[in-house]
Structure 1
Amino acid sequence: MSLFLSLYQTYKQNSSQVGERKLNRFEKEYTLIPVGHTTQTAHIEVLVTEDGEFYSAEIIPKGNGNTLIPATEKSSSRSGSLVAPYPLHDKLSYVAGDYVKYGGVIKKEEPYSAYIAQLEEWVSSPYNHWMVNSIFKYLKKGRLIEDLVNEKKLHLDSEGKLITSWDKKYEELFEGKPDIFSVVAGGQEGAFIRFNVHSPTKVLSKVWQSKEVFDSFTSFYNQSLGDEDLCYVSSEWIPKTNRHANKIRNAGDKAKLISDNDKSGFTYRGRFRESDQVATIGYDVSQKAHNALKWLINRQAKIVDGRVFLVWGNQVPEVPDPTSDSFDIYEEWDESPEEPIQVANTHQNYATEVKKALSGYMNRLKELDTNEQINILVLDSATTGRLAVLYYRNIQKELYINGLINWHSRCKWRHSYRKTKDGNRIQFTGAPSTKDIAFATYGPNANEKVVKGLMERLLPCIVDEHPIPSDIVRSAIQRASNPVALENWEWEKTLSIACALINSKEDYDMAVDNNNDDRSYLFGRLLAVADVLERNVLDSNGEKRATNATRYMNSFANRPERTWKTIQAALQPYLAKLGKGATRYTIIIDEISSKFNVDDFNNRPLTGKFLLGLSSQRHDMYQKKEKVEQNEGGNEL
């Protein structure tokens, strides 16, 4: 219950945001939903006058139909043939009194009768709202479909019945395909209608955005709730509920976190006779906890193949994301007055800057004088009806931030695979994102189920400072050791990420370590010299083919002594072409070779450290080459 308590507290701490419509980083709208409400995608908007007369209607374009609507416990979880009307906005079969007249099929109870009776209870209560009353006056006339047909928003066939699905045979009746068939997935009978009130003299808020209407329904519905019971979340005696929210990840999500409707299955059979014997949760608590979760997911979660990765604080929801790379963490959380790191600068140490930004974030939390807790949650569903908590941690902010600082300090290397919106390459030193680690480990075409699984496995490594699982590191090393199987950009990205994973255990300096006599590291340096030497000659001749060092790298990792002989022999023509310029390379090769112990120069397979030596030596040589070129061009070194 600690998860629901944290969500309940989050809702209460952010109650000022209830009903506020905002945009997330993807320009998608989200709202902290009021108690007793839910969201639906509306297809038609109907305007009525203050006196309850039809005014106009319009088809809502795709993407603009997300609507906040009042909902009862029963309507929020309705399915199949169950008649459970929403209190105000609903499907055509519920809100249109002339639905049967125009060909609508009713299986059991008439939805309109149940809908209009429920709406009448609201407008007859002390909590009614005048705009809801105007809508009720109009709908009670039972002529909605007639008005929508006259307005050319709904369309009839030759027999005067609603067209259930569009067919080419109807083209002769209309000029083109009517808009309604482009926004409704099924037939017109499935259209969801939202209502608004028009006034020629007043500036009115939209009904589905009015806090007064929200409060009106919440107050009306609260007085109809059942008996009180002990809430296992809040420890208070309040009206309970046995129906809990769905639509947690998106408007079409049917999976629930809490469900007790499987009375004939194995949900609680054999242990309890009634679901209330397991636990009871108050209606208000369930609503606020679920609505807070929806709000947080739409606001800041990352979702991979339906799996939700969410991190938040109860009082300050914005929290650094453990799945992000160092560049994103710095860009989002640095608020120093100093000039920020410029993208044009090469290999800025974002890992160091992340420490400063996260330390500043923790200091701001301390200034708020709060006992802020950080929540880490992973959700996914095995079926369409059940949502499971795969991972949940409630952790002190200091421990969480220190875990992030440690991760970005140790799992770091030079990276150059990111680009700005303008296409400029971003070079940064820091930790890669967990999603990039997944693609480096399993390839860019990896199944999303595999990707989300790896991202989940890395969370304890980041938050609790656990070592990275050896199979992840091993797989990344194997892919980085086989460049001929990858495109060049993919190999460079895989190499830098593999080095970051290796470095999380070794903590090597990214500069060339001339004092390191580890055989794998030294062999990696030798391979780098051979690669740079041949690459320079090939580039000067305009050849784009792979170097021998790249082609033989996989064999080199498994049989270094034998493969180095082959590579070194293949270098002789390139050394001859370079002439005096070859001296630089031979000196470096001799210097590295002299550091080997005689017994270490053998065919024993290399460890991942050879990638660290390879990457550091390549970077060092290319950096020196750039400085030489600048000097020859008359620029200062």
Structure 2
Amino acid sequence: MSVWQQLYETYNQHLDEVGKPESRWEGKTFTLLPISHTTQTAHITVNITPSGEFHSAEVIEKGNGNTLIPSTEDSSSRAGSVVAPYPLHDKLPYVAGDYEAFGGVYKKDNAHLVYIDNLKKWSESSYGFDRLKSIYSYLQKGRLIEDLVDEKVLFAETDGTLKWTWKEKEEKPLIYSVVTGGLEGAFIRFHVHSSEQLNQDPWRDPEFYQSFIDYYAEQAGESTLCFVTGQQKVGSTKHANKIRNAGDKAKLISANDSSGFTFRGRFDKSSEAASISYEVSQKAHNALKWLIQRQGRMIDQRVFLVWGSQATEMPSAVDSTFSLAALFDDVEEKEVFDTNQGGARAFSDALIGYKRKLPRQTVNILILDAATTGRLAILYYRSFDQEHYFSRLEAWHTEHPWEYTYFDSEKKRRVFIGAPALNDIATMAYGPRANEKLIKATVERLIPCVVDGRGVPDDIRRSLTQRASNPIGMENWEWEKTLQIACGMINKKEGMNMALNQDMTDRDYLFGRLLALADYLERRALGNEKRATNAIRYMNAFSQNPARTWMTIQSALQPYQAKLGTKLTYINRLIDEVGAQIDPSDFTNKPLSGKYLLGFYSQRHDLYQKREETQTSKEESVEA
């Protein structure tokens, strides 16, 4: 099933959400758009009385201007000097009949005449209604700018031109803080001010939505075969933009290059190559916009989206175990974030429980990005049976899990067992200052590891290993996070347990344990000193020449061993035991594989965990 059919069906499954405002980040609102509608950032609200007279006007504060407006195919695709008015709300040159009287110049045709003629046809049709007629009655008087100047929303010079000149001690008008460029770019929205319908804004009113949808459907053109539904429906040649955000001009479907041989040579017309009906195009594009705003992840304008056709909110393939656990309301926090293997089992149970609440449906994964400002491409699309998707997701987060430390929204330190976010893997593989194009490309490469069960690419694991072996030059938090993620990705291949394996005789694993013991011993001796230990300073050299570097590290430990004496007996004995486990033939300078990081992390974790347990038992005995 194609992505367009899935999006079309998603829209039809959520008709009750059409026009309902939602918010996600920073209070920004969005909605599932009705067909034949789009969104624009309005700068001025003009209030009109039911009798068609000017009431008042105000400048809309920045960030509050997102407005749902009726739109035609031509108006939603207009560019340059093309005259294609929106049906109701629009820019000043379209809606103001006195635009020329205040010094405005039309580049081509008189845009207002086209606008007012279209509005007249709609208001006088069988779909017109009182409030629409009130707006038309006022605008046909042609005095909008004059009223806005009297209201001190806009400003004019003594010669009548629409302009404001700064004078000493004078405050800059609010309109200039919300409109970029000239005032001809000011977008006007209209509201009928009446005591009976104070809250019935046209951009939130289903009566306005349906009125224009029915009116515009009556103006429909010829029917054509829709390649999505297989039915004869009214076709569309101009498809929607503003897919990723309100300023996005890139389109997913476009065939306007009749001279560039995009489709010529094989077809005479673009519709012969493929055609999508107007209804399907509108619904599919509106569903896609809604899903991106609602639950999409974006890296450098590349969109990563996972959704279900019926229950849209799905556990995302790009998120960490920590983030996904927030979906599971019926699971206690202490179970999901517990720092032991039970945490992975708790997550698995929670995921299965969440899946049982969902209807049987198709799960879709979509990646979008634009190479140019006008063309948007589908880089990756897969649809899965829900059972298959959840089983892959469960395997990624629970098979060979590792321990990760994150900070929640309240900056509280949290430790959990599972898998990291794909964006974190990419960032730690190449560093926080890496180019975002590299990061988003790496995330795209990692998605098949989650949804198809593939192994983590070798070059990503090598990069993580190299960075984790170079702690000098990194802040401590960055190195710790890199080390954890490197161990997790290496463990995905090795399939080892995070707990210390004292019976493991692998050469690389044992060398990693030795390094952790040396680091712990020196850290104990240094006490409150924050400088790096010799084990950490020589970590990169140790990974390349372990035998030779170990001799250097061990000789540097002798002063600390002498200083603390019997207090380090246990650690000294462990160093001797681990060293004795290495076969003499393996005690060479052959470079270590990433497995040494597993030994290093597990040994260090075991030492500090035992120390914490000992400290806790001492405190409890003192209290008793």
Scaled to the shorter chain, the TM-score interval is over 0.9
Instruction: Check whether the contact 1:171–1:177 (CA below 8 A) recurs between aligned residues.
Output: no
Structure 1 residues 590-599 or 513-522, which shifts more?
Answer: 590-599
1:230 aligns to 2:225 (yes or no): yes
Larger displacement relative to structure 2 (346-355 or 423-432)? 346-355
User: How many Å apart are 1:422 and its aligned residue?
Assistant: 3.2
Offset from partner CA, 1:403-454 (integer Å, 9 cap, x none): 10010113521112x1133322111111000010011100011111111101
- What TM-score results when the alignment is normalised by the length of structure 2? 0.97
**What is the CA distance between 1:27 and its match in structure 2?**
3.1
Match for residue 295 of structure 1 among 284, 287, 290: 290
Pairwise CA distance, 1:306 = 0.8
Q: How does 1:161-172 map to 2 (within 5 A)?
A: 161-163=161-163, 170-172=166-168
Q: Using the TM superposition, give the Cα deviation of residue 348 of structure 1 relative to its aligned residue in structure 2, in angstroms.
A: 7.6
Matched, 1:80 2:80: yes
CA distance in 1, matches of 2:389, 2:241: 30
Q: 1:350 to 1:342 in 2, by over 3 A?
A: closer
**Structure 2 matches for 1:149-548, cutoff 5 A?**
149-163=149-163, 170-172=166-168, 175-332=170-327, 334-336=328-330, 339-341=332-334, 346=339, 350-365=343-358, 368=359, 370=360, 372-410=361-399, 412-416=401-405, 418-539=406-527, 542-548=528-534
Instruction: Give the Cα–Cα distance (whole angstroms) in 2 for the partners of residues 158 and 202 of structure 1.
Output: 39
CA distance 1:201–1:312, change in 2 (3 Å): closer
Residue in 2 aligned with 1:614?
600
User: Do the aligned residues in 1 keep the contact of 2:335 with 2:342 (CA within 8 Å)?
Assistant: no
Post-superposition offset of 1:26? 4.6
- 1:140 maps to which residue? 140
If the length of structure 1 is used for normalisation, what is the TM-score? 0.95
Distance 2:309 2:621 in 1: 55
Shift of 1:553: 0.4
- AA in 1 matched with 2:523: R
Contact 2:535 2:553 in 1 (8 A): yes
- The percent identity for this pair of structures is 53
* Cα pair 1:198 1:204 within 8 Å, conserved: no
Asked if structure 1 preserves the Cα contact closer than 8 Å seen for 2:325 and 2:336, the reply is: no
Contact in 1 for aligned 2:469/2:539 (Cα 8 Å): yes
The Cα shift of 1:635 comes to: 4.4
Task: Give the superposition deviation at 1:302.
Answer: 0.5
What secondary structure is seen at the aligned counterpart in 2 of 1:484?
A: coil
* 1:583 alignment counterpart: 569
- Is 1:148–1:154's contact at 8 Å kept on the other side of the alignment? yes
Question: 1:276-295 deviations in whole A, cap 9, x for unaligned?
Answer: 11011110110000000000
Within the candidate set 522, 535, 549, 1:563 is matched to: 549
How much does 1:269 deviate?
Answer: 2.4
CA, structure 1 residues 389+509, in 2 after alignment: closer, same or farther (shift >3 Å)? same
1:17 counterpart residue number? 17
Tell me which residue corresponds to 2:95: 95
C-alpha distance 497-395 of structure 1, shift in aligned 2 (>3 A): same
In terms of mean alpha carbon deviation, does 348-357 or 321-330 score higher?
348-357
Q: Using the alignment, how far apart are the partners of 1:156 and 1:180 within structure 2?
A: 13
Deviation at 1:349, TM superposition (A): 5.0
- For 1:307 and 1:499, the matched residues in 2 are separated by 28
On the 8 A contact 1:35/1:284 being kept in 2, the answer is yes
Matched residue type, 1:597: D
Distance 1:629 1:171 in 2: 72
Match of 1:264, SS state, is: coil
Q: Secondary structure at the match of 1:378?
A: strand
Deviation at 1:353, TM superposition (A): 2.5
Q: Contact 1:327 / 1:350 at 8 angstroms: preserved in 2?
A: no
345 and 326 in structure 1: CA distance in 2 versus 1, 3 angstrom threshold: closer
8 Å CA contact 2:322–2:337 kept in 1: the answer is no
CA contact (8 A) 1:352 1:409 kept: yes
In 2, the alpha carbon distance for the partners of 1:396 and 1:478 equals 38
In 2, the alpha carbon distance for the partners of 1:26 and 1:342 equals 30
CA contact 1:48–1:134 (8 Å) conserved in 2: yes
Rounded Cα–Cα distance in structure 1 between residues aligned with 2:530 and 2:364? 50
Q: C-alpha offsets along residues 135-156 of structure 1, whole Å, 9 cap, x if unaligned?
A: 0000000000000000000011
Structure 2 contact 336–346 (Cα < 8 Å) conserved: no
Q: Which string of whole-angstrom CA distances, capped at 9 and with x for unpartnered residues, describes residues 505-527 of structure 1?
A: 11111110011100000000000
Shift of 1:175: 2.6
* SS in structure 2 of the partner of residue 194 of structure 1: strand
Aligned residues: 623
Instruction: Give 1:578 shift.
Output: 1.1
What one-letter code is carried by the residue in structure 2 that aligns with 1:454? T
> Distance in 1 between the 2:598 and 2:130 partners?
71
Q: Where do 5+ consecutive residues of structure 1 fail to align?
A: none
Assess if the C-alpha contact under 8 Å between 1:355 and 1:405 holds in 2: yes
Shift of 1:339: 3.5
Compute the displacement of 1:218 (Å): 0.1
- Give, in angstroms, the shift of residue 335 of structure 1: 3.0
Q: 1:105: Cα distance to partner?
A: 1.1
Deviations, residues 92-135 of structure 1 (Å, cap 9, x unaligned) = 00000000000111111000000000001101111112211110
**Maintained 8 Å contact 1:410/1:503:** no
Aligned pair in 2 of structure 1 residues 635, 117: CA closer, same or farther (>3 Å)? Answer: farther
Distance 1:404 1:451, change over 3 A: same
Give the Å deviation of 1:485: 2.4
SS at match of 2:334: coil
Whole-Å separation in 2 of the counterparts to 1:492 and 1:209? 50
Q: Is the 8 A contact 1:439 1:451 kept in 2?
A: yes
- C-alpha separation between the residues in 2 aligned to 1:443 and 1:352? 31
Distance 1:353 1:458, change over 3 A: same
Q: Tell me how far apart the structure 2 counterparts of residues 523 and 262 of structure 1 sit (CA, whole Å).
A: 63
How many angstroms apart in 1 are the aligned matches of 2:205 and 2:227? 32
Is the 8 Å Cα contact of residues 576 and 582 (structure 1) preserved in structure 2?
Answer: no
Q: Contact between 1:326 and 1:432, CA under 8 Å: does it hold in 2?
A: yes
CA drift at 1:21: 0.4
Q: Is the 8 A contact 1:411 1:504 kept in 2?
A: yes
Q: Aligned equivalents of 1:635 and 1:272: distance in 2?
A: 86
Aligned match of 2:51: 51
Residues of 2 paired with 1:79 and 1:591: CA distance?
76
Q: Indicate the residue corresponding to 2:580 in structure 1.
A: 594
Instruction: Look up the match of 1:38.
Output: 38
Does structure 2 conserve the Cα–Cα contact (< 8 Å) formed by 1:241 and 1:281?
A: yes
Change in 2 beyond 3 A, CA 1:443/1:124: same
